[in-house]
Chains A and B, each alone.
Chain A
Amino acid sequence: MTTPKIPNSVPTSFGNSAASRPGSLGPARLAGVAAFLALVFVAVPLGIAASGRWDFYYTLTSVALLSIASAGVWLTFYIGRINIGQGAYALAGGYVSAVLITQVGMSFWLTLPLAGLACAGLAVLIGLPILRLRGVYFAMVTLVLTEVARLSALALPVTNGAKGITSIPLPGELSVLGLTIIPDFATLEDPKLAFYLVAVALMCLSYLALWRIVNSRLGHLCRSLQQNEELAASIGVNTAHLRVLAYAISSFFGGVAGAMFVSISQSIYPSSFQVADSVNFMLNCFLGGLGYVFGPMLGTLLLYFGWDLLFTTGQYQMLIYSSAMIVLMLVLPNGLLSLFDRKGGGK
């Protein structure tokens, strides 16, 4: 049985990183990171091979990708904005990748960063006016943005309307100077494992980037925005530039996650990412705790796995899930990782 093993061992490695000094790369933190990498790249595939629960690959791949998108949402929380529009960027990224593959014939591996960049560019355009909004105003406008993305996907000619884009080929070979780095997915006998490894690698890269951003000069400036935007502006922080930058990075994550999702499902529809998905990305961040870089990862794991495990309860799935969420909110309103607050003093 691998089911209990995965959720149990993950929080400990997060606990280590939350407890050590921010920014420092001490032995405890390195050991925690190594343990985490060993867990996701070696222990999980071995465990799944031993137990024969191949369906867990799909679940865990989804968790990894959703947590990339949630990482983006977390970054907008970090500058003090509630972002409920990540679904729009995931959808946009998915369509950019799908259109480039099917109509231009580009390699998937090239479209992956392009999807992210396209979303970042879109975020700059949309962010310039809407990032002047704050609090619930920003939250509402981003929520509407998700709905607008769905409507655009329905209306634009290039997206093929409600029929969506289907039978997108699997990712091809990626080689540098004749050296194959990633083999053609269509020739693999087990693309599930390959997708899992790619998704987890992407997730690790994203969180490494996020952690690096938070513990850099940029991160400190973002924190000043979160606390008091006027004060930050008055001591010379270029707030307008900074918040657009943070929003663009956040949307980059959303676009990459969306593009990767499309390559797994080999199809995309206007309803692939909806308002509910956007809300879920935000909930993942809340659940894990907004003060912790790895909060969204833990939140995604718990919410997605919780939802999946409750599948056996049939029609009561939604009822139990939402009740658990409400109860959790009543008991731990500051997120799960706030349990470690007393030890680490928070970050």
Chain B
Amino acid sequence: MEQILANGLYLGAQYALIALGLTLIFSLMNVLNFAHGQMYVMGGFVTYTVVAQFGLPFIVGLLASAVVLAVIGAVCERFLFRTVIKRSKREESTMLLAAGIAFFLDAVILLVFGEKQRGVPKIVDGVFNWDMRLIMPYDRILIGALAIAMVVGFILFMQYSRTGRAMRALAQDRMAAQLMGVDVDRYSMIGFALGAMLAGIVGGLLVTITGINLGMGGPTSVKAFLMIMIGGAGVISGAIAGGFILGMMESIGLTLLAAYGDVTYLAIFATLLVFLAIRPQGLMGKPWG
């Protein structure tokens, strides 16, 4: 039991961080970022390159991932999404653009990093063992703790910094924020960069444990969508809740349902369908209209 809970917490912390980036972009721009999973893979590969190829310390790799992805996010917003949102009749057109960017990033990753599974050596050795009831490698504990620290840092940033306040105003009511003198274009760009950066950081963190490969992008996006559906799209607390709930469900499901084969996600989806029938806006999302 302790083992299941610990695994769930560890998974949940990672998931929450992925969902946070996606929900931030969604709340600011009303864009569903299909390329989120690819950004995560990109972050993993950047860390891998810096750590395993150049032999630099892990923290440098993590920083490099954050910077590279922030730049990619900012460029996507400034030159692609902003233009399309202005010209398009239906705002769903941004989905095609996001999907195009997802394919593009996949192509870039394939050309630059190749299709092989990559990983970096363990950053800390040893296994935590509490009386055989709870066994967990130290590096997982470290990564989990780092992820939780990031989530806390992100909440504090959104709550107390000037930029965070501007972004929250933007998410609440774009027009009103603009009338109050918030530079809407600038903060949209910062928000997108921040969302992409979070995806990159998770990629960088997880490359030390599960490794990274080209095919992980799509499934990661799907999981991120699941999380923000559970929690409610565009709400920060919802993304965190969704991440931890999915992490727990996956951890419990993998243990209890292992006897029946690979049916965990089927069970999760069936539960989600029932849940959405009762509460379509998710746990903490706002109802429409």
Contacts and interface: CB of A to CB of B under 8 A. Distances in A.
Interface of A: 82, 126, 128-130, 132-137, 139-141, 143-145, 147-148, 151-152, 154-155, 230, 274-276, 279, 282-283, 286-287, 290, 315-316, 318-319, 321-323, 325-326, 329-330, 333-334
B89 interface: yes
27 contacts: A129-B273, A129-B277, A130-B273, A132-B277, A133-B276, A136-B32, A137-B281, A139-B32, A139-B95, A144-B222, A144-B225, A144-B229, A148-B269, A152-B266, A230-B289, A275-B218, A279-B34, A282-B95, A318-B110, A319-B111, A321-B103, A322-B101, A323-B104, A330-B84, A333-B89, A334-B88, A334-B93
Contact of B88 (A132, A283, A323, A333): A333
Interface string B218-236: 1100100110110001000
Give the interface SS of chain B, mostly helix, strand, loop or mixed.
helix
Q: How large is the interface on B (under 10, 10 to 19, 20 to 34, 35 or more residues)?
A: 35 or more
Given A140-B229, A326-B80, A329-B93, A147 B265 contact: yes
B35 to A, nearest CB: 10
B100 A329 contact: yes
Contacts of B108: 319
A280 B225 CA distance: 18
Contacts of A315: 110-111
Contacts of A230: 289
A130 B276 contact: yes
Contact of A322 (B103, B262, B280): B103
B87 interface: yes
Contact of A325 (B96, B222, B233): B96
A279 B111 CA distance: 22
B263 A155 contact: yes
Contacts of A274: 218
Given A140-B229, A151-B265, A318 B107 contact: yes
A322 B107 contact: yes
Given A154-B262, A155-B263, A329-B84, A137 B233 contact: yes
Given A137-B281, A275-B219, 11 more contacts: A132-B280, A137-B276, A141-B272, A144-B226, A147-B222, A148-B265, A283-B99, A315-B111, A329-B96, A329-B100, A334-B89
